[in-house]
Amino acid sequence: MTSDRDAKFMHAALAEAEKGVARTSPNPAVGAVLVIDNQIVAKGHHREAGRPHAEIECLRDFGTPVPPRSTLYITLEPCSTFGRTGACTDAIISARIRNVVIGAADINPRHCGRGIVQLRKAGVTVREGVLAEECTRLNEAFNKWIVTGRPFVIAKCGMSLDGRLTRTFGEPRWITGGTARHHAHALRARVDAVLVGAETVRVDNPRLTVRGVHRARQPWRIVLTRSGRLRRRAHLFSDRFAARTLIYQQKPLASVLKDLGKRSITSVLIEGGGEVLGEALDNRLIDKVQIYLGPILTGGPVIAFPGRGTNKTADALQLRDVRYQTIGQTVCITGYPDVMESI
C-alpha cells in the first residue's frame, strides 16, 4: 500500500522529472527529492543525456552530508552500471542514504532490478512501486524503444466532426482554435520527431517546429515521399532547422520507424496527412492517439484515417484509457490502442 506521505513526495519527484521530458532522450526522464523530517530539502532531475542523473543532481543540491533519517524519492530505479556517467547506486551508497523509495523499475535489461539489489545488499531500505503507473507512463516512449528498438508512435490530427482534415474551400484552413493549436505545440515539444507525408508538405508547407513553448527543443522533421518531388523552397528544407529534416523515399512506414529507432529517436508524432495516418492504422503501428476535434462539419474528400479499413466493428482498433479534454471549443481525445506493436 502506498501511504499518503509517499504519494505526496513521489508526486514532487514526478514534477521534477517532467522538467526533463524530451530533453533527456534517448535517456529516460527522472526526478528525485530528498526528504528530512517530512520536508523536501533538495530536488534534482536528469537534464539531458550525458549530464548527471537525477539522484546526483539532488544530492548536489543538498550539498552537505545526508543524515541517516533522510529518505530519497526517485521516480525510476537508479542505474547500477557505468556509462557516460557513474552508477547512481554507488553515489547513493557513498552518501550513506539509508532509505530509498522508487516509483518504477527500469525495464532496461542492463539495469532492471540490479539497482534495487545493490542498494539492499548495502543495507539500504528500499520501497518500490510507489505511483508506479504514473512513473512508468512518464517514460512510455523510452520503455518501448529500449525493449523493441522502435519509437513510440503518436497519431495526432485536428479534424472536423465528420472526420475531415481540412476545409474544402476558402480560408482560414484551421479546424481547431488557437488554444488547441498551442496545446498541440506543447505535444511536439515532448517528442523526438514529427512525421508527415509529401502531400502535406506540398499543400500546407508546414514548419513542424515548436512555437510558443518556453525553452523547447526542436524535433526532427520526417517526410515520406514516393516520387521524391518536393519543393526545395518549402520551409522544411530552407529554414534554420533544415539540417533536422530527413526524407524517406519509397519506404513503408514500418521500415522508416525501424530506421528512426536505430537513430536513437524514441518517439514520433505522426501529423498527417490522411494517407500516412491510414497506413499507420492499417499496420497497427500506433501506440497512442491524440485527436483534436473541432466544432465544424466540412465534408470533402480529405479523410483523417482512410486506409483499407475493417469489414467488422469487432476488428476495429479499440482504445483504452480514453480521456477527453475541452480546450476552448475543441475537444482533445487521447487513448491507447488495446492491440499495439509495443511492449
The catalytic residues are: 55
Q: How far apart are CA 143 and CA 137, in angstroms?
A: 9
Distances, alpha carbon 256 to alpha carbons 260, 261, 303, 307, in Å: 6, 9, 23, 18
DSSP state of 242: G
Q: How far apart are CA 326 and CA 210, in angstroms?
A: 22
Whether the CB-CB separation of 293 and 304 falls below 8 Å is answered with: no
Whether the CB-CB separation of 104 and 77 falls below 8 Å is answered with: yes
- Here the cell at position 169 is 474551400
Amino acid letter for position 107: I
Cell 545526508 maps to which residue? 66
**Sheet harboring 193-197: ordered strands across?**
245-249, 220-225, 193-197, 267-272, 152-159, 288-293, 330-337, 319-327
Q: 97 burial class (0-12, 13-18, 19+ CB within 10 angstroms)?
A: buried
Q: 21 burial class (0-12, 13-18, 19+ CB within 10 angstroms)?
A: middle
